[in-house]
Structure 1
Amino acid sequence: MTSTGTVRLEVNQDSGGKVASLVLDNPTRRNAMGRAMYATIPDLVAEVDQSPDIRVLLIRGEGREAFCAGSNIAEFRDHRLGDAHLGYDELEHQAIDALAACRVPVVACIRGACMGGGVGLALAADLRYAADDALFSVPPGFLGIGYSLDSVERLLATVGRSSATELLLTARRLDADEARRIGLIHEVVTVDRLDEVVAERCATIAALAPMTLRAARAALAGRPDAVALTDACFHSADLVEGISAFEQSRRPQFGNR
């Protein structure tokens, strides 16, 4: 019987509602992504986009064994052979694009396996923090499928041509330290401290001016709205608050306006 799994959105109350978690929940298959799971993500990201309070979206896998072991191979015979792959790939594409275009910064918290489509999801995040037990691989060559062109482009932009070529043409596994060395992840943390450190990083991001971060992310992505978003910062109440806080030697309280 195929385990389809679910994806759910949780607002972290310890953050004062400023951090939400997107949880990939299919632990019997190491959080492998099924069609229904991919299809859920755009609507959940839209909920985050519509929230006036959420400042950071954290993506993680359920349990301690895996972030995401890729797409659910149990669905491939019915949904990825021949032209059937087009509908499947579109669901995956829409999910990853929704994460990449999210209104707030996206942080990936990675422990255990991060393979194939899991790497694609992680690459859609702005920041990636991994436990020292994390393993990374891009193994479509073991199955004979084509890897998402968008994910190839993100991998190339993240780790450079040399490392991207090796990952795609050898399908070998990287441990967390090597993934950090090539720039696939930003920081390696011991397993027992991962949640604590990621919570600290998210709290740091959540305390910054949201409009400034939105403009910076647009500029980094080369989006055409980057100029307008940057200009909007100079007309914002948050800039007035930032200047006042500096003058008064206190922490700013940004209102995202």
Structure 2
Amino acid sequence: MEFENILLENNEGIAYITINRPTKLNALNKATIGELHDAFSAAEEDREVKVIILTGIGEKAFVAGADISEFADFSTQEGQRLAAEGQKKLFDFVENMSKPVIAAVNGFALGGGLELAMAAHFRIASENAKMGLPEVSLGVIPGYGGTQRLPQLVGKGRAMEMIMTAGMIDARQALEYNLVNHVTTLEELLPMAEKIASRIMNNSTVAISAAIRAVNAAFDKEVNGFEVEIEEFGNAFGTEDFKEGTSAFLAKRKADFPGK
């Protein structure tokens, strides 16, 4: 599979998806959103892939926002369609992946870039990272889930301040806000992501997928998350991974999960 705006590499169970538009600070346009969807779909279907690491090319930006030139003259209906299609094709799609997605935020993550990072299951950041939702400075609001996911992560008050001021926060403040899990040097960003990924890969892929569904259910107002947890917990008892995991524990050996 060939791409113009991203890079996709698989190595020892990890899929690396890298936004590759350095002259645009990796800004998202419709073509890039489409390619990202295709790359995530391929990683989802590849049984060899256990974890996905998402990052941007270079040292300046993860994704510095959306490509404003594409929608500057849109009508109301076109704007609504842009947000709806983008959310379905990429942002909601990433959030509901059955495989863990780690966003390695290397530099600016603004607007759609921060929204993409927030759609990942968790985030780590380099010390030079800057994050924000500047949309109101353009006379619009975040349209790719930013008004929903940011309050979930940092709380309503902080989210309101970030959105209404259109300001940026640095990596340390993002850590304080619980927007990211870890902050490290730019040089250690991918190695840290890989270290976390390797720890994830020691565990049952089937159980991890179930855990993702259960956690996500807590944020769906139309779903009872506790009921989803009960169902997923019960389903786990019928999997080969459960049989292997419990057998290995009782035999005091390392589990070799079949992923079934």
Q: State the TM-score, normalized to the length of structure 2.
A: 0.89
1:46-65 CA deviation, whole Å, 9 max, x = no partner? 22222222111111111121
From 216, 225, 229, give the equivalent of 2:211.
216
Q: Using the TM superposition, give the Cα deviation of residue 145 of structure 1 relative to its aligned residue in structure 2, in angstroms.
A: 1.6
Contact 1:122 1:128 in 2 (8 A): yes
The number of aligned residues is 249
State which of 89, 92, 102 in structure 1 corresponds to 2:86: 92
The match for 1:155 is: 150
Moved more, 244-253 or 90-99: 244-253
List runs of 5+ in structure 2 lacking aligned partners: none
TM-score (norm 1): 0.90
How do residues 33-112 of structure 1 correspond to structure 2 at under 5 angstroms?
Answer: 33-78=28-73, 80-94=74-88, 95-112=90-107
- Confirm or deny: 8 A CA contact 1:58 1:109 kept in the other structure: yes
Distance 1:227 1:6 in 2: 41
Q: Kindly tell me: are residues 36 and 200 of structure 1, through their superposed partners in 2, closer, same or farther at Cα, counting changes over 3 Å? A: same
Contact 2:25–2:60, Cα closer than 8 Å, also in 1? yes
Residues 38 and 213 (structure 1 numbering): CA distance in 2 closer, same or farther, change over 3 Å?
Answer: same
Identity of aligned residues (%): 27
The worse-fitting range, judged by mean Cα deviation, of 227-236 and 24-33 is 227-236
Q: CA deviation at 1:146?
A: 2.4
Which residue, 113, 136, 158 being the options, matches 1:141? Answer: 136
- Residue in 2 aligned with 1:196? 191
Distance in 2 between residues matched to 1:89 and 1:58, nearest whole Å: 24
Name the amino acid aligned to 2:72: R
The aligned runs of 1:162-201 (5 Å cut-off) are: 162-201=157-196
Q: 1:249 aligns with which of 248, 252, 258?
A: 252
* Partner SS, residue 16 of structure 2: strand
Give 3-state SS (helix, strand or coil) of 1:107's partner.
strand
For 2:256 and 2:147, how far apart are their aligned partners in 1? 39
2:232 partner amino acid: L
| SS of alignment partner, residue 192 of structure 1 | coil
Q: Distance in 2 between matches of 1:231 and 1:51?
A: 26
Aligned to 2:19: 24
Unaligned 5+ runs, structure 1? none
Q: Deviations over 1:114-171 (max 9, x none)?
A: 1011111011111100001100111001111221273211111111111101111111
Q: Specify whether residues 72 and 5 from structure 1 end up closer, same or farther in structure 2 by C-alpha distance, changes over 3 A only.
A: farther
1:228 to partner: Cα distance = 3.6
Structure 1 ranges of 4+ moved more than 6 A: none
Answer whether contact 2:51 2:100 (CA < 8 A) is retained. Answer: yes
Q: Hey, what does 1:6 align to over in structure 2?
A: 5
Q: CA RMSD in A?
A: 1.9
The aligned counterpart of 2:118 is: 123
